[in-house]
Chain A
Amino acid sequence: MAESSLKLQFAPFCSALEAGFWHQLTQKKLNEYRLDESPKNIKGYYYNGDAVGLPARLTLEFSAFDADGPTPARCCPASGTLYNTNTLEAFKSTDKKALLDKAANEIWSAIQSGAALEDSSILNKFILLTFADLKKYHFYYWFCFPALCFVEGIQLLRAPLSLEQHFSDKQISSLQSAYDNLCASSGTTAVPHFLLKYSEESVEVAPLKELNSFFPDLKRVAVGVYDPCTLPQHPGWPLRNLLVLLAKKWASQLDVVEVLCFRDRTLQGVRSVQHSIIFQLRLSDPAPSAVCPKSVGWEKNTKGAMGPRSVNLSECMDPKRLAESSVDLNLKLMRWRLVPALDLEKVVSTRCLLLGAGTLGCNVARTLMGWGVRHITFVDNAKISYSNPVRQPLYEFEDCLSGGKSKALAAVDRLKKIFPGVNAEGFNMSIPMPGHPVNFSDLTVAQAQQDVEQLKKLISEHDVVFLLMDTRESRWLPTVIAASQRKLIVNAALGFDTFVVMRHGLKKPRESEESSPMSASSSSSSSNTPAATVTAGSSLFSNIPGHRLGCYFCNDVVAPGDSTRDRTLDQQCTVSRPGLAMIAGALAVELMVSVLQHPEGGYAVASSSDDRMNEPPTSLGLVPHQIRGFLSRFDNVLPASLAFDKCTACSPIVLENYEREGFQFLAKVFNSSHSFLEDLTGLTLLHQETQAAEIWDMSDDESI
């Protein structure tokens, strides 16, 4: 017979670890084991009710460290020894052969002494070698399921058959109830090994220890093993040591051993043991002397080679990683249904420069964090004072002590505390301003030059610049630099109960500027020119493309100067209703996000209040030029305005002078009164032309 030469082969256990096991190991290592490397008792379990296709597993979960704890219903417990090393080096250099031999010897002596017959669970011992790198949350592990071997292997006399091929329905149902009774009488819901006797009519089972009395004739015995394997031709690992036990105790008498690999699954309430397998084999004495036979059992790694496994659990155990993934996930959820077209990556990857870390800066930073923006840079020269923390949500009372911390630096520290994944940086520096002379000494000039260079560098390294300062004139320099560098500016400014949030017009890239006639917009300038290009029927301020939108200074007919000079304290301090900064700060970020969602970005046509009923241009809705809010009326309007050809900040003549003369030009602006810029741009002339008309207008208003 071909089958007579067939050797029995076993399906090894596959280790299965629940995340809870690693969490608990971490806790034990930190709080209990610490540097103690001594072996610990742990427990796992295996199951014989799996669906086809699942590997036989030894499972360790959260409860594995409770060696005396309960085992899940209908599962077989397996007790193990944990060797947790303190270093990776110790993990590597641990003598695995010695560990296996030690466990094999324990099993062997339990077999020889007969203890294994009384309590056969000793046959299912396992070893787990671990190293937990708790800095990185990397875990290295190697399982061993010690199995004693027959030198010659095990000869099959009859190849495995499924039980339904071998048993009648009557026998099967008799087996089921006999097994259930055995479980009930032994007080468990799973019996790892049992004896089996059957006739045409019925099946009887008995505990392993009754072997001598159960069979009338030891020449032909049958045993059942609780089998976690689902393969139709192979038994699982637990049978191995049982066969060694049988062979060692009765090899001289046993002729044929019939083995039932008991598999017991219930699907939707329908129980089946029919797929259990049954076969016959012949056993030889595994070790003629009392010497422990050769043993095997270290688990192969995922590559199928002899080696340890490892798992990186930083994603679910490192609090910083957890925070990052939770933040990302919450944002992604917006996409699941609410805004499927949302391009989050565009938002998250935007590098934001916040000029000003006061009430507006703090609120803008927090809203950016809410959007998952990771790259946030602060510029501010102020220190935190006692009045700040109640309105500036990144600061606390402690930050005001001993003169106060630098706002830019303290804001960075706080952002990192709120979310360690943020990439934040702070610069404690001043921004030179028109009408605030820098020419007191060589030192002050050099300082101003250095500040300008630093600001230029910062703007070039970011994608969006937020103007969040408390004076008008401090916004001038970044407006000029960003306009020259074609960077998007989002500007927010507060009055007492009014605010403006706006995006500055984004000048066209230089290449196209050169190709188109420069004169079209600049030299033939009169304030009427833009209207000529607007299509008939639409109003002057509808459908303005992003490159023709104005900046913060475009609507002004006076150049920025020292706005704090000659003013009383309440006029110098920006006093506004406390909720205003939060509203405006949040709107500034939301405006940026909407702009980013538009395919044309900063060049997007400005939406106006009239567009509120129309099809929105982005998945998030409108992309206005300005949002002007009036808290007294709880009302917002969305005006749009054109770039002004006499603008003191973004007009071509200012940019040309800046780009040509650089710091020299800027120094002139800083050191002069506002008339310098007004003269340069032609505002002075405009003033003279319109003065008379204005006077008449105003007096008309007043008389009403």
Chain B
Amino acid sequence: MMTGERKPASCFLDEKTFRLCCRLFLQHSESIQDGWIWEQIKGSDEGFMKKTVLIPVKSSLLDKQHESIQAENTELPTDDFEADAEDETAGVDAVCESHAVLRYEYHVLYSCSYQIPVLYFRASALDGRSLSLEEVWSNVHPNYRQRLKQEPWDTLTQQEHPLLGQPFFMLHPCRTEEFMKPALELAHAQNRKVNYIVSWLSVVGPVVGLDVPLSFSTAVSAPD
């Protein structure tokens, strides 16, 4: 039985149910090619759900950062290799100019200490450099900022990814109960089973720019 059924007031999720919910979530993602995958940590039974989203941005944003790096690397060699410079046949110069792309990575992990799923994310440029929170913030549309300020942005922290050991932003799970409890209680009252991951992610995802297509909530079932 799912925790949501027996104890509707509890917002906790055991790890087994977490895995089952993820499996169902991933099945649907696969069928609509929403891009979620299960990333297994090599040599262990641990893993997490991951999705990468690429977003073209105004190059001005990234230019600024490039300049600062370039300034530090004054000694960088750029003129000692010209033998291959005459590749006009390589064509389409136009495409090369606006390569400002941001890569958002979203990871859904299980937290044993909180017994709930936790969303980690980071944004980076195509060269792998991670964006600071200010840079991420500056890419949020101004119309959304006001709304976002009220919501879980205040629980955003920087944390080391527990499985990868790299710095990520994390939506701290301390406020999960606030929005999961009413959702689970309502579902219980209507005698409806919900997939925890779907309900949870559709609340926290949009806050950090992650869309969860509506079909997840209709097509993904809860584990039996």
Chain A residues in contact with chain B, CB under 8 A?
7-12, 14-23, 49-51, 53-57, 62, 66, 72-74, 88, 91-93, 96-97, 100, 138-140, 147, 149-150, 153, 229, 231, 234, 266, 268-269, 271, 296-298, 300-313, 315-316, 322, 325-326, 329-330, 332-333, 336-338, 340
Contacts and interface: CB of A to CB of B under 8 A. Distances in A.
Contacts of B157: 329-330, 333
B133 A10 contact: no
Given A93-B80, A304-B96, A313-B130, 17 more contacts: A12-B92, A12-B95, A15-B127, A18-B128, A22-B128, A55-B99, A92-B77, A97-B81, A138-B72, A140-B76, A231-B95, A266-B32, A304-B97, A312-B129, A315-B129, A316-B167, A326-B158
A332 B149 CA distance: 13
A18 B124 contact: yes
Given A21-B128, A310-B73, A325-B132, A336 B149 contact: yes
Which of B69, B82, B157 has the largest number of chain A CB atoms within 10 A?
B69
Contacts of B81: 96-97, 298, 306-307
A149 B89 contact: yes
Interface residues of B, number: 61
B91 A11 contact: yes
A619 to B, nearest CB: 15
Contact of B103 (A18, A51, A100, A333): A18
A22 B154 CA distance: 30
B206 to A, nearest CB: 15
B204 to A, nearest CB: 15
A215 B34 CA distance: 37
Contacts of A7: 89, 91
In the complex, the 4 A-B pairs of residues with the closest C-beta atoms, listed nearest first: A9-B91, A269-B32, A307-B78, A266-B33
A329 B166 contact: no
Interface string B99-111: 1010101000000
B29 to A, nearest CB: 10
A138 B76 CA distance: 11
Nearest to B67: A302
23 contacts: A9-B91, A9-B92, A10-B91, A14-B96, A20-B164, A23-B166, A50-B54, A56-B95, A96-B83, A138-B73, A150-B89, A234-B91, A269-B33, A271-B33, A296-B84, A297-B87, A306-B81, A311-B69, A313-B128, A315-B130, A316-B130, A329-B157, A336-B153
B224 interface: no
Contact of B126 (A16, A97, A305, A313): A16
Interface in B90-143: 90-93, 95-97, 99, 101, 103, 105, 122, 124, 126-130, 132-133
A22 B167 CA distance: 13
Contacts of B42: 66
B60 interface: no
B75 interface: yes
A202 to B, nearest CB: 25
Given A54-B56, A316-B166, A301 B133 contact: no
A505 B213 CA distance: 61
B91 A269 contact: no
B84 A310 contact: no
A96 B76 contact: no
Contacts of A97: 81, 83-84
B96 A311 contact: no
A306 B96 CA distance: 12
Contact of A268 (B78, B166, B213): B213
Nearest to B79: A307
A287 to B, nearest CB: 15
Interface of B: 30-34, 37, 42, 54, 56, 66, 69-70, 72-73, 75-85, 87, 89-93, 95-97, 99, 101, 103, 105, 122, 124, 126-130, 132-133, 149-150, 153-158, 164-167, 213, 215
Contacts of A336: 149, 153-154, 156
B76 A12 contact: no
A315 to B, nearest CB: 7
A303 B78 CA distance: 10
Contacts of A329: 133, 157-158
A312 B126 contact: no
A698 to B, nearest CB: 55
B90 A19 contact: no
B128 A337 contact: no
Contacts of B91: 7-11, 234
Contacts of A304: 93, 96-97
Contacts of B90: 9-10, 12, 147, 296
A53 B56 contact: yes
Nearest to B69: A312
Nearest to B160: A322
Given A17-B126, A53-B56, A96-B81, A307 B76 contact: yes
Nearest to A311: B127
A338 B150 CA distance: 10
Nearest to B165: A23
Question: A72, A73, A311: which has the most chain B beta carbons within 10 Å?
Answer: A311
Contacts of B87: 296-297
Contacts of A14: 96, 99, 126
Contacts of A311: 69, 127-129
A19 B75 contact: no
Contacts of B89: 7, 9, 149-150, 153, 296
Contact of B133 (A234, A269, A332): A332
A306 B82 contact: yes
A16 B124 CA distance: 10
Given A12-B90, A20-B164, A92-B80, A337 B124 contact: no
Contact of B128 (A10, A17, A234, A326): A17
A336 B37 CA distance: 32
Contacts of B92: 9-12, 231, 234
A311 B129 CA distance: 7
Contacts of A300: 96
Nearest to A296: B87
A19 B95 contact: no
A450 to B, nearest CB: 43
Given A19-B122, A97-B83, A315 B78 contact: no
B55 to A, nearest CB: 9
B166 A11 contact: no
A88 B128 contact: no
A371 B39 CA distance: 38
A57 B100 CA distance: 12
A18 B50 CA distance: 14
A336 B137 CA distance: 11
Nearest to B63: A302
